[in-house]
Amino acid sequence: MKIKTRFAPSPTGHLHIGSVRTALYSWLFARHNKGAFVLRIEDTDVERSTQESINMIMDSMAWLNINWDEGPYYQTKRFDRYNEIINNMITYGTAYKCFCSKERLEYLRKVQIKAGKKPRYDGYCKQNKISGTIPHVIRFCNPQEGDVTFKDQIRGNITFNNKELDDLIIRRTDGSPTYNFCVAIDDWDMGITHVIRGEDHINNTPRQINILKSIGAPIPTYAHISMIFGSDGKKLSKRHGALGMLQYRNEGYLPEAILNYLIRLGWSHNNKEIFSLSEMIDLFTLNKVNRSPSLFNIDKLKWINHRYINQLPAKYIAKHLYQHIKNQNINIQSGPPLTKVIELFSKSCKTLKEIAYSCRYFYEDSFTIDNKYLNFTHYQLLEDIKNKLMLTANWNIENINQVLLSTADEFKVNKKIVYMSLRIAITGHDGSPTLTHVIEAIGLNKTIFRIEKAMNFIKNKKNNI
């Protein structure tokens, strides 16, 4: 049988990192088994579902390269199908109309709670076989006896007593079908063989299994993935660095790093940390997914991102970096190619946003030098370097370095002083990638221009004293 999995997000906000991990595991499981992967948008909660959220889901999946073979299906477009089944269920007696008023249900609840019982519908309308057309809901006739057991692929056998389960409302008074019902029908209609989803859905599983059984549909295999918590063991939030997926893109993470981080967050293969996409597909199995909760660690995500910035071809990184450069309003026409900038910053920057923040001086001369830097003792050093650089026939790192060393030698000053004054002149900062490489990338003309600018800065400073 061909394996088929699905990702079924509710479009009610950002796509969270936990949902993306669920999507990834479902997708990898399908790809590993040469099966199919379905995208289904669970938008039955009309009030909370938004088009903006649907767009964010699609954009995130496209950015991460998690591609689907079928869909996106929308539950709101399948109401006719749900109603067809509900009407059949009423005919076959596996569902019934319930006319109980809000007041009765509220009172029943209070009495049950007072008596120390778990509140649940008492089956009044089922027993009394009431019929009519006044406003009503449709309830599923949940079996009253026996258990529901399923073999969770991550957590082993899980059993629920049918007595614990309510006669679930499957269609509301306004005619709209409810969540658990739609999920069960969709999984059946779409031929889903493996439902891989968050642990928060375990309690829904016996209800969905009972619905499927009542209509003679096959029961898929279930796998519930543990939750992700913050590093302090508390519910994951912004405080822990948890963001919506597109915000990670905006913060300068690479999709490869996100996927690699997420596969390791709750799954392992020996002690291996870095996985290419094809390794992920080859190696991913559900039996290696961890049962205990995972702890989100933003520093590890950064570490992996840094690895990928250094590991992937600079040309590829440049494509992703370009958007960040645009966000910073940097015009890269008159400067080195982005691949050069990446080579220079990949050691020190852990995100693409950091690179974009740091590299402005490669393209713009307009930075100002802080007053705390450079004084008259540096003036002659800079002048000497300038004169020598202008006579450098071959503009390369080796020759630039020779100039700096000979200036230090002639002026009998520590070469650190020479480098630091020049660094300030060329970049405006007291820290940069290897200076000779920076100068080589910036080019002769801009270098000379900036040295002159720094010399003027020193002159003006002196005049002001």
Give contact residues for ligand GLU (rule: CB under 6 A): 8-10, 42, 183, 197, 201
Residue closer to ligand GLU by CB (options 26, 94) is 26
- With CB atoms as reference, the residue minimizing the distance to ligand GLU is 197
238 is in an annotated binding site: yes
Residue 64 tokens read as 């991460």
What letter does residue 176 receive in the DSSP assignment?
Answer: P
Q: To the nearest whole angstrom, how small is the minimum distance from the Cβ of residue 216 to ligand GLU?
A: 21
Residue closer to ligand GLU by CB (options 183, 369) is 183
Residue closer to ligand GLU by CB (options 61, 400) is 61
Residue closer to ligand GLU by CB (options 213, 300) is 213
Cα separation, 294 vs 230, in Å, equals: 8
Cα separation, 118 vs 402, in Å, equals: 83
Residue closer to ligand GLU by CB (options 94, 180) is 180
- What amino acid is encoded at 462 in this protein? K
Cα separation, 390 vs 397, in Å, equals: 14
Using a 10 angstrom Cβ sphere, with 0-12 exposed, 13-18 middle and 19 or more buried, the burial of residue 131 is exposed
Q: To the nearest whole angstrom, how small is the minimum distance from the Cβ of residue 68 to ligand GLU?
A: 14
Cα separation, 299 vs 57, in Å, equals: 25
Cα separation, 108 vs 114, in Å, equals: 10
Q: Which of 30, 32, 33 is nearest to 68 (CA)?
A: 30
Q: 385 — phi, psi (to 5°)?
A: -60, -45
Sign of CA dihedral 214, 219, 225, 226: positive
Residue closer to ligand GLU by CB (options 42, 167) is 42
Q: Are 371 and 461 in contact (CB under 8 A)?
A: yes
Q: To the nearest whole angstrom, how small is the minimum distance from the Cβ of residue 47 to ligand GLU?
A: 15
Cα separation, 398 vs 387, in Å, equals: 17
Residue closer to ligand GLU by CB (options 171, 197) is 197
Cα separation, 81 vs 268, in Å, equals: 41
Residue closer to ligand GLU by CB (options 195, 321) is 195
Residue closer to ligand GLU by CB (options 9, 266) is 9
Angle 212-217-218 (CA atoms, 0-180°, nearest 5)?
100
Cα separation, 197 vs 211, in Å, equals: 18
Q: To the nearest whole angstrom, how small is the minimum distance from the Cβ of residue 108 to ligand GLU?
A: 29
Q: To the nearest whole angstrom, how small is the minimum distance from the Cβ of residue 4 to ligand GLU?
A: 14
- What 3-state class would DSSP assign to 177? strand
Q: To the nearest whole angstrom, how small is the minimum distance from the Cβ of residue 177 to ligand GLU?
A: 14
Q: To the nearest whole angstrom, how small is the minimum distance from the Cβ of residue 84 to ligand GLU?
A: 21
Q: To the nearest whole angstrom, how small is the minimum distance from the Cβ of residue 143 to ligand GLU?
A: 21
Order across the sheet with 70-74: list the strands: 70-74, 36-41, 4-7, 194-198, 221-225
All residues at 6 or more sequence positions from 65 whose CB lies less than 8 Å from its CB, including other chains: 255, 277
Q: Which of 268, 273, 294 is nearest to 283 (CA)?
A: 268
Q: Are 389 and 422 in contact (CB under 8 A)?
A: no
Q: Which of 337, 364, 346 is nearest to 252 (CA)?
A: 346
Q: To the nearest whole angstrom, how small is the minimum distance from the Cβ of residue 228 to ligand GLU?
A: 14
Q: Are 354 and 252 in contact (CB under 8 A)?
A: yes
Binding site membership for ATP: which residues? 238
Binding site membership: which residues? 238
